[in-house]
C-alpha cells in the first residue's frame, strides 16, 4: 500500500507507451500551426493511420511497413484537408471537424475485416551491453524504434524551425502570410507541405496505438487522443521541447492515477484526470493575459485564410 | 441548432393535440437506438446492435431501425435523442446509464413516442426501463476466478462508481472469497465505458501489481488483448470475447437483449406497449455466458455450472446474508436476501474489499 510497491521501470515503460502517440501527433500539429494553419482533424488522421497501419502490418507481416502505411494514411487525409482549405479556401475549423468525422467513419469501414486479429509484434531495439545494465539499461533501452524516432523528431523539428532558413520561411508564413507572399515565398505550397507532415505524424501516432500500445484494431480506438494532442500544442506554447514535456505530463497523469488506484491509494482519480486540462487552461489564460507574449508564441496568422491577390 | 428547440416544442404540441389516435396498432414502426460506443466495440454496444438486428429479422418490413453510435453521456445526448424523437421514430432505446436524465426530458416532450432506457431507474408513462442482472454473471466468474488465481490477486477494471458496477464488484468478490478466503481485489475505475488505450493501461497497471486474472466492466476488448499478451487470465464483458484472447479468455458474461427488444417492438406494433421495469437475469436468458474455456478444470467448471443452475432456479442469490458492509456494520442478517431496491442503489463495498467507492 505504499509507493515503493510501484516498480519504476515498469511504470516508465507504460508511460512511454502512453506518451509516444501524443508526442507524434502533437509535434505534427505544432508544425502545421507554425505555418499558420489550424487543423482540428488530428483525431480523424490518427484513427485512419491506426487502421491503415494495422491493415498493412497484418497483410505484410511487417510492423515497419505498418508504421509507414499509418503515416501515409494520415498524410492522405491531411492532403484532402490541405486541398480544401488552401486551394478551395474552405473554412479551416469546419473542415478540420469534418475531417475527424470522416476519418472515424472511413477507418471503421476499412477496419471491419480486421477486428480480433493480432498484429505482428514490434521488435524491441536492444543495444548489446547497454540494455543489460540494471535499471538504467531497461529504462533507457529496450523500447521499439518508434519511441526513439519520436525523440529524434522533436530534436529535428526544433532544429528545423529555429535554426534553418526553410524553418524561418515556414514561421514567417505562419506569422504574416501577406508579407511572406510579398517577399515571394510560396505560402500555399509551404502550408501544404506542413499539413502533409502533420498528417503523417498523426497517422504514425495512430499506428503506434493500434500496433504497439493496445495492440489491436477497435473502432473509435483513439477515443479523444487527437483532441489531447491539440491541447498539448497549446500547452507547449508552440515549442517542440515543451510538446515532449506536455505529452509526458498528459500521459503520466493518466498512468499515475491508474497505478495509484491499483495500489489502493486514496487519490481522487477524477481530480488527477482533470489536472492536465486545468494546466492547459491556465497556460491559455497566462498567454492571453500578456499581449506581447501572445504575439511571440501563437502564430499570428493561425487559422486565417490566405488568397493571393494577384 | 437553436432553431431545433422551438421546432421540437411545436412538434410535441402537435402530437399532444393528436393525442390518443396514436395509441393503436400500427402497420409499420420506426425504432431508434442510441449507443454509447461504436457498434464495432465487440462488447456492450455491439450486443445492443445485435438486438436491433434481431428486431429487423423478426419483424421484417413492418419495422425500420436506425441507430446513432458513440454518443457521449450527458447533455449532448439530449440533442441526439430529441432529433430521433422528432424524426418519426415510434420507439427509442437509449442504451447507457448516463442517458437517464436526457431520456426523461425528451420523453416528457414527446408523449406519443415510446422510450426504453437501459440500466436506469427513472420512468414515465412513455418511458420504460430495463436491465440485466449482471451481478448474477459476476457471481459465476467470481467463483471461477477465486479457484483459478494463484497469486490471489484479481484485477478489476471498473468504469464508473455507479450501483450496477458496485454490484458487480461485490458479487464477484463475495463469490471468489467463498471459495478462496485469501483472495484480494485490486480495483481501478477508468472513468470511461470505452477507451481501449486507457483500458489497456489499466490492465497493465493491475498485472504489474500482481493480478493474474483480469475482470472488466468496461466495453472494449483491449483488457483481454493485454491479458493475452502478458499471459494472465481474463474474463470478457457483454459479448463473447474469446477470439481476442484465445489462450487466456475463460468466459464472458454475454448480454442477450434480442428477445426483449423484439417483444417490445412487437408491443408497439400491436398497440399494447406499457411502461414498466424489467430486470432480467440468468433465468430469463438476458444473462448468458460465452463457452467456458477448456483451461477451466473440470471441478471448477462443475462449480460454475451448478451456480448457474442454482441462480436460474432461484435457489441461490449472490447477495445472501450474513453479510457486512465494508466498515463492519451488518447489512444482511443470516439467510436474508438483498432486495432489488437496495441493489439498485448499492453504493458501498462489502466487508473485505480494500479501497473506497469513489464519491
Number of Cβ within a 10 Å radius of residue B347: 10
Task: Report the run of H or E that residue B278 belongs to, with start and end.
Answer: strand B277-280
Contact across the interface for A262 and B40, Cβ inside 8 Å: no
Q: Are B355 and A214 an interchain contact pair (Cβ–Cβ within 8 Å)? A: no
Mean pLDDT of A63-83: 97
Q: Which residues make beta-bridge pairs with B156?
A: B187, B215
Q: What is the mean pLDDT of residues A97-106?
A: 95
pLDDT digits (tens, 9 = 90+) for A46-61: 999 999 999 999 999 9
Band of residue B358 on the pLDDT scale cut at 50, 70, 90 = confident
pLDDT tens track for B257-290 = 999 999 999 999 999 999 999 999 999 999 999 9
Q: How far is B67 from chain A (nearest CA, A)?
A: 14
What is the predicted pLDDT for the residue at A252?
Answer: 86
The predicted-structure confidence for A285-309, as pLDDT tens digits, reads as follows 776 676 665 555 788 888 888 887 6
- Greatest mean pLDDT among A263-272, B6-15, B59-68 lies in B59-68
Smallest Cα distance from A116 to chain B, Å: 5
The helix (H) or strand (E) run that includes residue B298 is helix B298-313
Half-sphere exposure of B298 (CA within 13 A, CB side): 0
A216 closest CB neighbour out of B192, B244, B354:
B244
Nearest CA in chain A to B196: A221
Contact B128, B67 (CB under 8 A): no
Q: Closest approach of chain B CAs to the CA of A207, in angstroms? A: 12
* pLDDT confidence band for A275 (50 / 70 / 90): confident
Under 8 Å between Cβ of B118 and B47: no
For residue B358, give the C-alpha cell: 469513489
The answer to whether residue A130 scores a pLDDT higher than 70 is no
In this structure, what are the phi and psi dihedrals at residue B193, rounded to the nearest 5 degrees?
-90, -30
Note the pLDDT of residue B2. Answer: 43
Best of A103, A106, A214 to disrupt the B interface by mutation (most B CBs within 10 Å)?
A214
Residues A2-27 have a mean pLDDT of 84
For chain B, how far is it from start to end, CA to CA, in angstroms?
Answer: 35
Q: Which residue has the cell 406499457?
A: B274
Q: What is the pLDDT of residues B21-66, one digit of tens each?
A: 445 788 999 999 999 998 888 889 999 999 999 999 999 999 999 9
* Residues of B at the A interface, defined by Cβ within 8 angstroms: 37-42, 70, 155, 186-192, 194-198, 200-202, 204-206, 208-209, 220-222, 225-226, 228-229, 243-244, 354-356, 358
Say if residues B109 and B9 touch (Cβ distance below 8 Å): yes
Q: Does position B7 have pLDDT exceeding 50, yes or no?
A: no
pTM, two decimal places: 0.84
pLDDT at B20 over 50: no
Residue A203: count of CB within 10 angstroms of its CB = 35
Are the C-beta atoms of A115 and B46 separated by less than 8 Å?
A: no
Task: Identify the band that residue B232 occupies on the pLDDT scale cut at 50, 70 and 90.
Answer: very high
Residues A109, A93, A18: CA angle, nearest 5 degrees: 60
Tell me the C-alpha distance between B213 and B6, whole Å: 53
- pLDDT at A116 exceeding the cut of 50: yes
Q: What is the pLDDT of residue A292?
A: 64
- What's the gap in Å between the CA of B353 and the closest CA on chain A? 11
Give helix A187-208 / helix A145-163 axis angle, nearest 10°: 160
Tell which of B189, B209, B217 to mutate to test the A interface (max A CBs under 10 Å). Answer: B209
Q: For residue A138, is pLDDT > 70? A: no
* Interface mutation vs chain A, best among B205, B207, B213, B230, most A CBs within 10 Å: B205
Distance from CA of B188 to the nearest CA of A (A): 5
List strand residue ranges (DSSP E) for A133-276, in order.
none
CB contact under 8 A, A218 and B42: yes
Q: With a cut of 90, say whether residue A284 has pLDDT above it.
A: no
Residue B15, pLDDT above cutoff 80: no
Helix residue ranges, H only, B34-133: 44-59, 75-85, 100-109
DSSP codes joined into one string, A75-144: HHHHHHHHIIIIIS---HHHHHHHHHHHHHHHHHHHHGGGTT-PPPPPPP-PPTTGGGSTTHHHHHS-S-
Query: What is the rounded distance in angstroms from the CA atom of residue A256 to the CA atom of residue A270?
Result: 12
Amino acid at each position: 500500500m505504499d509507493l515503493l510497491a510501484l516498480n519504476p521501470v515498469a511504470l516508465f515503460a507504460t508511460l512511454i507507451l502512453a506518451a509516444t502517440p501524443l508526442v507524434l501527433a502533437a509535434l505534427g500539429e505544432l508544425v502545421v500551426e507554425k505555418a499558420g494553419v489550424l487543423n482540428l482533424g488530428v483525431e480523424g488522421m490518427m484513427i485512419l493511420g491506426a487502421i491503415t497501419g494495422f491493415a498493412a502490418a497484418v497483410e505484410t507481416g511487417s510492423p515497419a511497413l505498418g508504421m509507414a502505411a499509418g503515416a501515409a494514411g494520415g498524410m492522405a487525409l491531411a492532403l484532402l484537408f490541405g486541398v480544401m482549405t488552401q486551394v478551395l479556401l474552405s473554412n479551416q475549423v469546419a473542415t478540420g471537424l469534418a475531417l475527424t468525422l470522416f476519418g472515424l467513419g472511413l477507418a471503421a469501414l476499412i477496419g471491419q475485416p480486421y477486428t480480433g486479429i493480432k498484429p505482428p509484434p514490434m521488435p524491441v531495439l536492444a543495444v548489446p551491453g547497454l540494455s543489460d545494465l540494471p535499471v538504467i539499461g531497461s529504462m533507457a533501452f529496450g523500447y521499439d524504434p518508434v519511441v526513439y524516432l519520436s525523440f529524434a523528431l522533436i530534436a529535428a523539428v526544433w532544429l528545423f524551425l529555429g535554426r534553418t532558413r526553410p524553418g524561418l520561411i515556414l514561421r514567417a508564413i505562419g506569422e504574416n502570410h501577406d508579407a511572406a507572399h510579398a517577399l515571394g515565398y510560396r505560402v500555399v505550397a509551404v502550408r501544404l507541405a506542413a499539413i502533409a507532415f502533420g498528417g503523417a505524424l498523426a497517422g504514425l501516432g495512430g499506428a503506434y496505438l493500434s500496433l504497439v500500445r493496445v495492440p489491436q484494431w477497435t473502432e473509435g480506438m483513439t477515443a479523444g487522443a487527437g483532441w489531447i494532442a491539440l491541447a498539448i500544442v497549446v500547452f507547449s506554447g508552440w515549442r517542440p521541447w515543451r510538446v515532449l514535456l506536455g505529452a509526458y505530463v498528459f500521459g503520466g497523469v493518466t498512468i499515475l492515477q491508474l497505478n495509484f488506484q491499483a495500489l489502493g491509494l486514496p487519490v481522487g482519480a477524477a481530480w488527477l484526470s482533470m489536472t492536465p486540462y486545468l494546466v492547459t487552461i491556465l497556460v491559455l489564460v497566462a498567454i492571453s493575459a500578456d499581449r506581447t507574449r501572445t504575439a511571440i508564441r501563437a502564430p499570428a496568422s493561425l487559422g486565417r485564410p490566405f488568397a493571393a491577390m494577384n | 441548432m437553436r432553431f431545433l428547440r422551438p421546432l421540437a416544442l411545436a412538434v410535441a404540441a402537435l402530437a399532444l393535440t393528436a393525442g390518443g389516435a396514436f395509441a393503436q396498432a400500427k402497420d409499420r414502426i420506426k425504432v431508434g437506438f442510441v449507443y454509447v460506443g461504436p457498434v464495432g466495440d465487440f462488447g456492450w454496444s455491439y450486443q445492443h446492435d445485435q438486438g436491433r438486428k434481431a428486431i429487423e429479422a423478426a419483424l421484417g418490413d413492418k419495422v425500420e431501425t436506425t441507430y446513432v453510435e458513440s454518443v457521449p453521456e450527458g447533455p449532448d445526448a439530449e440533442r441526439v435523442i430529441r432529433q430521433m424523437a422528432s424524426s418519426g421514430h415510434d420507439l427509442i432505446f437509449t442504451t447507457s446509464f448516463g442517458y437517464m436524465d436526457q431520456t426523461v426530458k425528451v420523453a416528457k416532450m414527446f408523449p406519443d413516442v415510446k422510450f426504453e432506457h437501459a440500466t436506469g431507474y427513472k420512468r414515465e408513462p412513455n418511458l420504460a426501463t430495463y436491465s440485466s442482472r449482471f451481478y448474477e454473471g459476476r457471481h459465476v466468474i467470481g467463483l471461477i476466478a477465486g479457484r483459478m488465481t494463484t497469486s490471489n490477486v484479481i484485477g478489476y477494471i471498473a468504469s464508473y462508481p455507479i450501483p450496477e458496477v458496485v454490484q458487480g464488484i461485490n458479487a464477484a468478490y463475495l463469490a471468489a472469497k467463498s471459495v478462496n478466503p485469501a483472495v484480494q481485489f485490486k480495483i481501478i475505475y477508468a472513468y470511461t465505458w470505452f477507451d481501449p488505450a486507457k483500458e489497456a493501461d489499466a490492465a497493465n497497471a493491475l498485472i504489474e501489481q500482481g493480478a493474474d486474472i483480469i475482470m472488466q466492466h468496461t466495453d472494449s476488448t483491449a483488457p483481454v488483448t493485454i491479458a493475452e499478451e502478458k499471459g494472465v487470465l481474463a474474463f470478457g464483458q457483454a459479448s463473447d470475447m474469446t477470439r481476442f484472447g484465445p489462450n487466456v479468455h475463460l468466459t464472458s458474461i454475454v448480454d442477450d437483449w434480442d428477445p426483449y427488444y423484439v417483444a417490445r417492438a412487437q408491443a408497439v406494433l400491436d398497440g399494447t406497449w406499457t411502461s414498466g421495469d424489467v430486470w432480467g437475469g440468468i433465468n430469463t436468458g438476458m444473462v448468458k455466458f460465452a463457452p467456458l474455456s477448456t483451461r477451466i478444470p473440470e471441478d471448477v467448471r462443475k462449480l460454475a455450472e451448478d451456480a448457474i443452475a442454482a441462480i436460474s432456479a432461484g435457489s441461490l442469490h449472490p447477495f445472501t446474508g450474513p453479510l457486512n458492509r465494508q466498515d463492519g456494520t451488518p447489512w444482511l442478517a443470516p439467510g436474508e436476501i438483498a432486495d432489488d431496491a437496495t441493489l439498485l442503489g448499492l453504493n458501498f463495498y462489502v466487508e473485505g474489499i480494500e479501497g473506497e467507492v469513489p464519491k
